[in-house]
Structure 1
C-alpha cells in the first residue's frame, strides 16, 4: 500500500517539528519537512536520519517562488502525489499598536504568513490533485479572527500587531482555496489554531504580555491538531478549528 504523503512547512522547530516528529512515529508515511536552511536544521536532520525512508528534509524559504517550485520537484523524486499539506511556517514580526508599526514589517509578515502558504499551495497543487483525498491545513491563530479583534472583552494588546493582520489574511486565503477546490478537486481545506503554545515564538509572545511562558503545552497542541489532520470525513472542511476541539469565529 502506498504511504500517506505529508508536506509540512516550517518544520525546523516548534509546532512544525512537533508535527513531523509525531508523524514519523507512524508506519506507512512519507513526510517532507521543510527548513529555510537544512544545513543548520540539526534536530530535523537527526530526526530524518533516524527515520530514513519516512522523513525527507527539503529546503524552503517560503518567500521564494523558486524555492517553492524546487521543493515540488524534490517531492517528485520520491512520489507522484501529496495527500496532506500543512502550511505551518510563519513569523510574528510587527508587534505593537497600529500607530507605531511599520509598513516594512507589514510587507514581511504578509509575505511569509500569507504569501508563503500561497506559493507552496500553488507549487504542490498538481501533486495534491494526484491524491485520491487531498487535505490542506493552514496553521492560523485565534488572533486572526476579526470577531475576536472586535470583542470588547478582549484586551486590545492581545489582538494587536501585524501578526493579527497576517493571520486574518491567511484565513481569507484559505476560505478562497476551499471555495475554489472543495468540489473541483475533492479537497478538504481547514484552518487550525494551535493555541498559545510553548514554542520559541509562543513563549516570546507570552513574555511580551508579561507572562513567564505560553499556557498551552506543545504536546497538547500537537495531539489536538492531529485529531483534525487525521480526520478524513471532510466534516471540518471550510471551518476554522482550535486544537482544543472548539470552532473559532471568523
Structure 2
C-alpha cells in the first residue's frame, strides 16, 4: 500500500514545497491548511506531476479541525507513516517591553499548541504503521534569540523543547522524531505576515542577500530525513544559506 504523509501549513511556502516533494517520493500526501482554494491548486499540480494528494481543510488552532484531519487520515489509502508539523509563523518584531500579547498568543498557539494538537491526534496512526516519523519544522530561532524576536524565539524554543521531549517519551516505540531548523528562508508570505503586509519591511529582511534559502531547499531536507532507513533518526538538522554564518552574521552584497 502507498504510505501516507500529512503536511500541515501546506497551502504555501515550505509546506507546499514539502507536499510536492513527498508526493514525488511516492507518498500519498494529505495536505492540510486553512485555505482550501490553494490546496485545490496544490493537489492539481501534484497530480500533473504524477503524484497523489488530498487537500484537507484544517486550522491547527482548532481541536475540532484537527480531529477532522485525524478522521481523514483513518480513511487514507495506506498507512500513515509521516507527519510534518510545518504550520507556524511570526508576528511582529517588537521588543519585550512593548510586545503585543495578542501576537505572542497567536505565535504560541500556532507554533507550539498546533504541533501538540496535531501530533497527539496522529500518533496512534503513526505508531500503528510500525514505522512512523514525526517531523517538527522549528527554526534557528529555536536555539538563538535576537532583539525584537522575543515572541517568536520563545515559541520556537518551546517547539524545540516539544521535539526533544517527545523523542524521549517515544523511546522504544516505532516512531522517530526529527527537528528541522532553517535559518533565512525567503518565501512568499513569512516576512509579509510578520510585518502585517508591509512589503518594504518584508523585502528589507533579504536585502543584499544573494541567495537565501527557498522553500524547496527545506523540503529537500525534510524529504531526506524522512526517507532514511527507519533505524536512522536525524535528531536535528540545521540548514542556513551560505551567506548566513549565524543568526546575526549575514553577508549582504
**TM-score of Structure 1 vs Structure 2, range by shorter chain:** 0.7 to 0.9
Shift of 1:30: 1.2
1:27-42 equivalence runs, <5 A: 27=26, 29-42=27-40
What's the counterpart of residue 164 of structure 2? 175
1:202-213 equivalence runs, <5 A: 202=190, 204=192, 207-209=203-205, 211=207
Shift of 1:52: 8.0
Q: Pick one of 226, 229, 249 that aligns with 1:229.
A: 226
- Per-residue deviation, residues 177-218 of structure 1 (Å, max 9, x unmatched): 1111122x2211011013311212445466354626671133
| Residue 166 (str. 1) matches residue 162 (str. 2) | no
Shift of 1:221: 2.7
Q: Normalization by structure 2: what TM-score? A: 0.82
| Residue 56 (str. 1) matches residue 54 (str. 2) | yes
Q: Secondary structure at the match of 2:177?
A: strand
CA RMSD of aligned residues (A): 2.6
Shift of 1:94: 3.3
Q: Secondary structure at the match of 2:216?
A: helix
Q: Measured at CA, do residues 197 and 48 of structure 1 come closer, stay the same or move farther in structure 2, by a change above 3 Å?
A: same
* 8 Å Cα contact 1:94/1:161 also seen in 2: no
Q: Pick one of 86, 89, 104 that aligns with 1:88.
A: 86
Ranges in structure 2 where 5+ consecutive residues have no aligned partner? 195-201, 241-245, 247-253
Distance 1:38 1:228 in 2: 28
Name the structure where strand makes up a greater proportion of residues: 2
What's the counterpart of residue 197 of structure 1? 185
Q: Secondary structure at the match of 2:131?
A: coil
Superposition misfits of 4+ residues, deviation over 6 angstroms: none
Distance 1:224 1:89 in 2: 17
1:89-128 equivalence runs, <5 A: 89-128=87-126
What's the counterpart of residue 251 of structure 2? none
